[in-house]
Amino acid sequence: MEILDALKSEDGGLPIVPIALVILAIGIVTLVVSAILARSDRNVARRRLRVQPETNEDDGEPRRQKSGRKAVRERAVKTTLDFYSKGDPENVARLRLKLIKAGYMEPGSVGTFFIIRFVAFVVFGLGAMAVATTIGAESTATNRWIFIGMAAGFGYFLPGFVLSRVVAAKVSEYRNGFPDFMDLMIVCSDAGMSMEAGIERVSRELEMTYPTLSKHLQLLSIELRVGRNLEDSLRSLGDRLNLEEVRSFATLLRQSKELGTSLSGALRVFSDEMRHKRLSLAEEKAHALPAKLSIPVTACILPVVLMIAIIPVIVKFTTE
């Protein structure tokens, strides 16, 4: 207790310990999110080498209990979605598109996101209240409520931040998998398959290596089955994937159809351009790395070098 009392501020303000705990919690959450995203990047090679689908074993839970919990969850998700849809439908539509970009294409994904955000808001708020009550009991009520509000706000915005990181990771996966899609489309075109049949076949082939991209391609195939135009379907696919390459692919197909050029040749040229563009982006990031490293080098190494160079001179003048 003496150590905790010593860490508190002298003017009775907000104690240092809760602030340190909040900073520590933010650092832990950031490290966990980064580790999850890094693990997903490391699993790309494993997915590409996977040849058999994973099988889920039955956990032995009664089916009636599962259906009951599923019904309660679906009812909660539907109620939450209806509540937010009536209040701000434009925000719900934008969130729906963002969730689709992240690979969550279920109808109840928007309601699930709102529930997760509300739970995170409550959990972080209650946790901050417990910390402020136990450790910061001697601080003022205003400072305690400010601390609780900051923690609750962090919990409220945390799911959105995680979703943005997931979208960025998925866009990278789409950009890496689309050249493979183009190569398989070239094989299908050389074999005499139509564009619609080739997309359906390639979507099944990419299910093991790029599962999320395969889902989007299956949705594209369903849109083509119901009679939607190929160009419009590809533009919608580009909006869902957030890739300019898909929109360019739609333009390429239209120009190839109007000019009567070979489809396989156009696909082969476009695939080569995409791979060259991906290599150019990698080279651009590599060339930008020295400029990005200049800030931490200047902030961390330069002060130490200056101290080593100046301290002996200061010690010499002070001792004389």
In this structure, how many other beta carbons lie within 10 angstroms of the beta carbon of residue 23?
A: 10
Amino acid at position 218, single letter:
Q
Residue 34 binned pLDDT confidence (cut-offs 50, 70, 90): low
pLDDT at 89: 77
Residue 8 binned pLDDT confidence (cut-offs 50, 70, 90): very low
In the predicted model, is pLDDT for residue 55 greater than 50? no
Task: State mean pLDDT over 19-34.
Answer: 62
Residue 21 binned pLDDT confidence (cut-offs 50, 70, 90): low
Residue 22 binned pLDDT confidence (cut-offs 50, 70, 90): low
Task: State mean pLDDT over 69-97.
Answer: 75
pLDDT at 10: 44
pLDDT tens profile 89-121: 788 888 888 888 888 888 788 888 888 888 888
pLDDT tens profile 170-225: 888 888 888 888 888 888 888 888 888 888 888 888 888 888 888 888 888 888 88
Task: State mean pLDDT over 258-272.
Answer: 77
Q: How far apart are CA 20 and CA 8, in angstroms?
A: 12
pLDDT at 54: 47
pLDDT at 9: 44
Residue 42 binned pLDDT confidence (cut-offs 50, 70, 90): low
pLDDT at 67: 66
Percent of the chain with pLDDT over 90: 0
pLDDT at 13: 45
In the predicted model, is pLDDT for residue 161 greater than 80? yes
pLDDT at 79: 75
Task: State mean pLDDT over 261-284.
Answer: 79
In the predicted model, is pLDDT for residue 148 greater than 80? yes
Residue 45 binned pLDDT confidence (cut-offs 50, 70, 90): very low
Point out the least confidently predicted range of 60-64, 98-102, 139-143, 315-319: 60-64
- Of 242, 252, 241, the C-alpha closest to 185 is 252
